[in-house]
Amino acid sequence: MIVGEEGILIKKLYLVMMKNHCGNRKQCLTLLKHHAVIVNGQLITDCNYIVKTDDIIEVNGKRIDSQPFVYYMMNKPAGYICANYDEKYPCVVDLIDREDCYCLGRLDRDTTGLLLLTNDASLSKQLLLPQHHVTKTYFVECMKPLDQSFVEIFKDGILIDKDIKCLPAQLEIIDHYHCYVTISEGKYHQIKKMFLSCHNQVVSLKRIEFANILLDSKLSLGDYRPLTKDEFQKLKEFMFYR
């Protein structure tokens, strides 16, 4: 279920046109140059024009969507996988009522919590570059009592899969069986493997933060909502082109 609505406007006009299938970059720039684009009744030829939420855009006399890009936060339920199609399990995109969205990064099927979804391929490409070190924080429940020594081990960069060294991670113990772990990379099953390397085991995993964006505690499992402008601003801090 979608909760609330708030538009985020960040895109140049030609990108909005491209998303509306007006053509590739070159074709859209040509349309602008050839006086084919009207915004709010005014002829626009500037390809760098930034589209505003309530702009009325017409290309060759036909209205196009001024808000073709969406950025959602979901509270992922367990049992769903982060893919667009699977033969065996339901996918998180089945919970969203549009077909062009995909997950920004992956969570395991049994992991719950903060998941971002978008239809903006350029954003996801940039955000998921390994050199961006997007931070992610998880609330972890473990099988065996936590040991204070884990804090240093995680901070030094723990070895997983025998010889793969992780970047330094922050572990904050809450009580014997619960902690927060913050990592800045996204290796396959990373948190589970980090605990296995310490002869412990993850019982449950919930992501509570991604790129400094906090999971909205008002979102029930399976619900999603658009990112606010402030949240979107945080995402952009991890991007090359702002």
- Least distance to ligand URA, CB of residue 31, Å: 43
For residues 204-216, b (16+ Cβ closer than 10 Å) or e, as one string? ebbbbbbbebebb
190 is an interface residue for ligand URA by CB under 6 A:
yes
Handedness of CA 178, 128, 130, 188 (dihedral sign): positive
- Least distance to ligand URA, CB of residue 157, Å: 16
> Residue 31 — φ and ψ, nearest 5°?
-60, -40
Say which of 100, 108, 110, 223 is annotated catalytic. Answer: 108
Catalytic: 230?
no
12 is an interface residue for ligand URA by CB under 6 A:
no
**Among residues 146, 191, 227, 235, the one that binds ligand URA under rule CB under 6 A:** 191
> Looking at beta carbons only, is 178 or 192 nearer to ligand URA?
192
- Least distance to ligand URA, CB of residue 79, Å: 13
CB-facing half-sphere around the CA of 103: CA atoms within 13 A: 22
181 is an interface residue for ligand URA by CB under 6 A:
no
Residue numbers 193-232 binding ligand URA by CB under 6 A: 205
- Least distance to ligand URA, CB of residue 73, Å: 16
Quick note: the x/- pattern for ligand URA over 98-117, rule CB under 6 A, is: ---------xx--x------
Which of these ranges, 84-92, 93-101, 161-169, 186-194, lies near ligand URA under the rule CB under 6 A? 186-194
C-beta atoms surrounding 193 within 10 Å: 17
Task: Confirm if 113 and 215 have CB atoms less than 8 A apart.
Answer: yes
Question: Which DSSP state fits 144?
Answer: S
Distance (Å, whole) CA 35 – CA 48: 15
For residues 45, 51, 53 and 59, what is the CA-based torsion angle, rounded to 10 degrees?
40
Residues labelled catalytic: 108
Give the binding site for ligand URA (CB under 6 A).
107-108, 111, 189-192, 205
